[in-house]
Amino acid sequence: MSEPANLREQALGLLASGKATSRADLVETLQVAPSTVSSVVRRLLEEGTILEEGVGVSTGGRRPKILRLREAGGVFAVAELGARHARVGLCSPAGVLLAAEESPVDIGAGPKAIFDEVTAIFERLRSAQAPDQRLLAVGMALPGPVEFPHGRLIGPARMPGWSGYDAQTDLRDRFDATVVVDNDAKAAAIGEHVARREAGDMIYVKAGTGIGGCLVSGGQVYRGGRGLSGDVTHVRVADSGERECSCGSRGCLETAASGAALARELAGRGLPVTSTRDVIAATVNADPAVVTLVRHAGRLLGVALSGLVNFLNPDSVVIGGSLSSLDVYVAAVRGMLYERCLPPLTQTLSIEASLAGRDAALIGLGRLLRESADLRPA
């Protein structure tokens, strides 16, 4: 993202959160020249995105003019797809999640069938929660490699029938609105960074049925050349059992540390487990065999992340996704990072479960849409 767009988004975020209410606040927080802030504010005022409303208390000079975000009179529709679920919600232009619900889906049904289901949920939520609000934009997070910002799926190993699909165009045609399509882990990382506010450089891992990752540095997602960065799921790890992966290789992290891998292993041992949800329930019930296997999976994820921590020296490692609800899994990741990483890099390293939880991707999509949607009142 270019610097002006970055400053624009940062200014909007500060004004929306109440951390800044004037040009002087923006100068102090963003640490840029007053002339740069004046340029950004002037552009936002011309767009109608913000308003000047009254004056604040003087701190020695002229009383500052108060800035606030203009209500756009509409909502964002946001959705995150998983292998077996769709979490769908409505978000205000200021970034507040207004409503969310989860429904079972089968990602293998293909994009058109899945998008039909999600569209029906969107419409039901709007009718119930915001019947008089116009739809400003639509955001979708998908559990596969997304070529950003074009919104096209590139070789998703666990999504038969989706490879090469232009999800962004499909959704734009359905809703006649601005559309943003992103990878689920990247959208969740943005949401987590919003929730933590002062997160610094962060490695975010979404550990659920599959495993995805993302680096947030300087408040921005690192995307790589085609927007396909963060694929930790196909990193080869020792002690994985050399199982064949959906990508065609063997020994990938996905085959031993993901929810799907755990469910498959436990089912093979005769336990009544068919999904990641069943794995979580069995772990919470303290089944010794399940707890041992989940701990081993967390350690393998820690092995895969240790090289990244040594190389990138982040301020935090955050584990999101459904498996982050298991203390034993997160603790195993933490223990392996302390064991494998250089001591100076872990002395101040925060390693913990997600704060934003299951709504992280929806919050992240709301932030992305605020960057690209037309927020001027109709």
Token pair of 230 as six digits: 């963060």
The CATH number of residue 47's host domain is 1.10.10.10
The percentage of residues in the chain with a pLDDT greater than 90, rounded to a whole number, is: 66
The answer to whether residue 377 is domain-embedded is: no
The answer to whether residue 378 is domain-embedded is: no
Across residues 289-297, what is the average pLDDT?
Answer: 95
pLDDT of 193 reads 92
pTM of the predicted model, to two decimals? 0.83
239 and 204 belong to one structural domain? yes
DSSP label at 143? S
81 and 60 belong to one structural domain? no
Q: 149 near 183, Cβ under 8 Å?
A: no
pLDDT at residue 358 greater than cutoff 60: yes
204 and 352 belong to one structural domain? yes
- Total tally of structural domains belonging to the chain: 3
Name, of 27-36, 68-77, 314-323, the range with top average pLDDT: 314-323
The region of weakest confidence among 58-62, 95-99, 139-143, 304-308 is 58-62
| Dist CA 19 CA 235 (whole Å) | 40
184 and 201 belong to one structural domain? no
pLDDT at residue 292 greater than cutoff 90: yes
Q: What is the pLDDT of residues 38-81, one digit of tens each?
A: 999 999 888 878 888 877 666 666 788 899 877 667 899 999 99
| Dist CA 274 CA 277 (whole Å) | 8
- 12 band by pLDDT with thresholds 50, 70 and 90: confident
Rg (CA), the chain: 22
Residue at 169: amino acid letter: T
Q: What is the pLDDT of residues 180-192, one digit of tens each?
A: 999 999 999 999 9
pLDDT at residue 223 greater than cutoff 90: yes
104 and 41 belong to one structural domain? no
Q: Which residue range forms the structural domain that includes residue 114?
A: 74-189+360-372
Which backbone phi and psi does 350 adopt, to 5 degrees?
-90, 130
221 and 109 belong to one structural domain? no
174 and 80 belong to one structural domain? yes
Q: What is the pLDDT of residues 102-121, one digit of tens each?
A: 999 999 999 999 999 999 99
pLDDT at residue 177 greater than cutoff 90: yes
SS3 39: helix
pLDDT at residue 328 greater than cutoff 50: yes
Q: 184 near 212, Cβ under 8 Å?
A: yes
Q: Which residues contact 27 (CB under 8 A, 6 or more apart)?
A: 33, 34, 37
90 and 220 belong to one structural domain? no
Last residue of a domain, one of 69, 87, 117: 69
256 and 173 belong to one structural domain? no
The CATH number of residue 204's host domain is 3.30.420.40
Residue among 202, 196, 199 at smallest CA distance from 214: 202
How much is the mean pLDDT over the chain?
90
DSSP label at 79? E
Across residues 263-269, what is the average pLDDT?
Answer: 94
